[in-house]
Amino acid sequence: MKALVYTGEKELQYIDFNDPIRKENEELVKINSVGICGSDMHAFLGHDERRPSPLILGHEPSGVIIGGANDGKKVTVNPLVTCGNCRFCIDGRDNLCLTRQIISMPPREGAFAEYLSIPSNNLISVPDNINLEKACLAEPLACGWHAVRIAKESIKSEFENLKCLVIGGGAIGIGSALALKAKGVKDIFLAETNNLRHSQIKKTCEMIVFNPNETNPLKEGELDLIIDGVGIIHTREMASKYVSPGGLIIHIGLGHALNGLDIRRLTLQEITFIGTYTYTSKDFKDTAQAIFNGSLGSLEWVDVRPLSDGQKCFDEILTGNSPSPKIILKP
């Protein structure tokens, strides 16, 4: 099969690669669409020791099952493979599984390829009226859905009346903002430093978008809930500064490991900080259903490109020249 293979720092090659071996209790999926994630960019830059080259990246796929009883079935793929038996899986927190695997990280190759083998219980059927470009957004949107669910379970105020800030206008941030809207929140601000993305986000998501490096409509200490979809020093500094006393910071982004939080202010103002990772299998299913029933909007903020243009797409994202919050590659 053809695959886009990460071969070294800032280098991807579209080359022939071994076909995946279909394992027991798995389905062979012909990939139709697969999104580029921020974690793919981290690996591309050589910043993720968990993803050594050579490796097929990509963990946001949708496609069609090939062969077997489900041949021809449209599916979106939950890339998180869990054991089903540990205390976290049994407790419904399978995203914390002690032996979790994710495609695009050894021992599992990713989805920037023509085919993928994946456990059958990781697949969600896609209705005929939903295209597979939208279906592959279930993975990044599920991260925001999970974060918002955790926030709703944690915060004491009336959720619909919260004043919220989402930091980051990529798919994780947009997904978080759309999940907030789906839960009834009306007062949502989205901070995004790439001005190229603003018009598309405003048009398709209908929310207040601003560049914090140029202007800021917010006052310090006035946000009940802040979701950081970037996770770098500057965004944690921003969250620490603008969250209200007794407020909540939900941290999704994995940009930088250290620094940025004002721990003294978090302590003195009894501010809650929660890190969230991926999603549970239920969160993933609920997100897919929200896509299917239109609860997350039109989702027309993507840019679709051929997989063979993968290197060019990664370069565009790296230089900030991509106006779209999400590039989807098509094998």
DSSP conformational letter for 94 = G
At 59 the three-state DSSP class reads: coil
Per DSSP, which regions of 99-242 are E strands?
A: 101-102, 115-119, 123-125, 163-167, 187-191, 208-210, 223-228
pLDDT averaged over every residue in the chain:
95
CATH number attached to the domain at 2-137+299-330: 3.90.180.10
Is residue 45 within 8 A of residue 6, CB to CB? The reply is no
DSSP conformational letter for 112 = S
Q: What is the pLDDT of residue 200?
A: 86
Using CA of residue 29, residue 32, residue 38, residue 42, what is the dihedral sign? positive
**Residues contacting residue 35 through CB under 8 Å, at least 6 positions apart:** 58, 60, 136, 137, 139, 140, 171, 302, 326, 327, 328, 329
Q: What is the pLDDT of residue 24?
A: 87
Q: What is the pLDDT of residue 125?
A: 98
DSSP for 236-279 reads HHHHHHHEEEEEEEEE---S-SS----HHHHHHTT-EEEE--S-
CATH number attached to the domain at 141-275: 3.40.50.720
Strand order in the sheet with 11-16: 11-16, 2-8, 55-56
Nearest alpha-carbon partner for 112 in 149, 145, 63, 155: 63
The domain locations on the chain are 2-137+299-330, 141-275
The length of the chain in residues reads: 331
Q: What is the pLDDT of residue 21?
A: 87
Q: What is the pLDDT of residue 322?
A: 87
Nearest alpha-carbon partner for 163 in 247, 215, 208, 223: 223
For residue range 14-66, list pLDDT tens digits in order: 999 999 988 889 999 999 999 999 999 999 999 889 999 999 999 999 999 99
At 311 the three-state DSSP class reads: helix
Q: In the chain, what is the straight-line distance between the N-terminal and C-terminal CA atoms, in Å?
A: 10
Q: What is the pLDDT of residue 156?
A: 81
CA atoms within 13 A on the CB side of 233: 2
For residue range 257-308, list pLDDT tens digits in order: 999 999 999 999 999 999 999 999 999 999 999 999 999 999 989 999 999 9
At 60 the three-state DSSP class reads: coil
Token pair for 296:
């997350």
Task: Provide mean pLDDT across the span 69-78.
Answer: 97
For residue range 193-236, list pLDDT tens digits in order: 999 999 889 888 888 999 999 999 999 999 999 999 999 999 99
For residue range 162-205, list pLDDT tens digits in order: 999 999 999 999 999 999 999 999 999 999 999 999 988 988 88
d(CA 57, CA 313): 14
- Exposure b/e, 249-274, CB count within 10 A at least 16 = b: bbbbbbbeeeebbbeeebeeeebbbe
For residue range 74-88, list pLDDT tens digits in order: 999 999 999 999 999
For residue range 120-153, list pLDDT tens digits in order: 999 999 999 999 999 999 999 999 999 999 999 9
